[in-house]
Structure 1
Amino acid sequence: MISETIAAISTPLGEGGIAVIRVSGVDAIAFSNQIFQPTGKLSAAESHTVHYGHIADPASGEIVEEVLVTVMRGPRSFTMEDVVEIGCHGGLVSVRRVLDLILQTGVRIAEPGEFTKRAFLNGRIDLAQAEAVIDLIRAKSDKAQKLAFKQVEGSLSKHIKQLRYHLVELMAHIEVNIDYPEHDIEEMTNGYIREKCEDAIKIVRKLLKSAGEGKLIREGIMTAIIGRPNVGKSSLLNALAQENRAIVTDGQFLPVDRFLHGSILDQCAPM
Structure 2
Amino acid sequence: METNDTIAALATPPGEGGISVIRISGENALTFARGLFHSIFDISKNIPPAQKVLFGEIRDPESNRVIDEVLFTWFKKPNSYTGENVVEISGHGGTQVSATLLELILRQGARLAEPGEFTRRAFIHGRLDLTQVEAVADLIGAASDRALNSAVLQLKGALSRRINNLLDQLLAVQAQLEAAIDFSEEGLTFQSRETTGQQIKGLKMKFFL
CA separation of 1:131/1:180 partners in 2, compared to 1, >3 Å: closer, same or farther?
A: same
Provide TM-score, normalisation by structure 2.
Answer: 0.89
| 1:18 Cα deviation from its structure 2 partner | 1.4
* Residue of 63, 69, 72 corresponding to 2:66: 63
**Matched ranges for 1:212-251 at <5 A:** none
Gaps of 5+ in 1: 207-271
Partner of residue 23, structure 1 = 24
The amino acid of 1:99's aligned partner reads L
**Equivalent residue, structure 2, for 1:13:** 14
Equivalent in the alignment of 1:48: 51
Instruction: Map residues 172-211 of structure 1 onto 2, 5 A cutoff.
Output: 172-179=175-182, 187-206=190-209
8 Å Cα contact 2:35/2:44 also seen in 1: no
- Specify every segment of 5 or more residues in structure 2 that has no aligned partner in the other structure, as ranges: none
CA RMSD of aligned residues (A): 2.1
**Alignment pair present for 1:131 and 2:166:** no
Question: What displacement does 1:178 show?
Answer: 3.8
Does the C-alpha gap of structure 1 residues 122 and 190 become closer, same or farther in structure 2, counting only changes over 3 Å? same
Counterpart of 1:87 in structure 2: which amino acid?
Answer: S
1:163 equivalent to 2:159? Answer: no
Structure 1 CA distance for aligned equivalents of residues 26 and 59 of structure 2: 21
* Structure having greater relative contact order (Cα 8 Å, sep ≥ 6): 2
C-alpha change, 1:50 and 1:193, in structure 2 (3 Å) is same
Contact 1:31 1:106 in 2 (8 A): yes
| Residue equivalent to 2:91 | 88
Higher strand proportion = 2
Shift of 1:173: 2.9
Task: Please tell me whether the aligned partners of residues 65 and 94 of structure 1 are also in contact (alpha carbons under 8 angstroms).
Answer: yes
Whether the 8 Å contact between 2:78 and 2:85 is mirrored in structure 1 is yes
Q: Cα distance, 1:193 vs. partner?
A: 2.1
**After superposition, what is the alpha-carbon deviation per residue over 1:182-216, rounded to whole angstroms, capped at 9, x for unaligned?**
7797624322321221121111221xxxxxxxxxx
The sequence identity of aligned pairs, in percent, is 41
**Matching residue of 1:252:** none
CA distance in 2, matches of 1:184, 1:81: 56
Contact 1:29 1:42 survives alignment (8 Å): no
* Aligned counterparts of 1:61 and 1:184: Cα–Cα separation in 2: 86
Aligned residues: 206
Q: Is contact 1:42-1:71 (8 Å) kept?
A: no
1:122 maps to 2:125? yes
Cα offset for 1:62? 2.2
Q: Matches of 1:118 and 1:153 in 2, distance apart?
A: 18
Cα gap change, 1:80 to 1:185, in 2 (>3 Å) = farther
3-state SS in 2 of match to 1:133: helix
Task: Give, in whole Å, the separation in 2 of the partners of 1:42 and 1:192.
Answer: 68
d(CA) in 1 for partners of 2:188, 2:88 = 57
Q: Report the TM-score when normalising by structure 1.
A: 0.70
- In structure 2, the CA distance between the partners of 1:43 and 1:135, relative to structure 1 (3 Å rule), is farther
> What amino acid sits opposite 2:193 in the alignment?
N
- Does the residue aligned with 2:71 lie in a helix, a strand or coil? strand
- Are 1:109 and 2:112 matched, yes or no? yes
Question: In 1, distance between residues paired with 2:188 and 2:79?
Answer: 45
Amino acid at match of 1:96: A
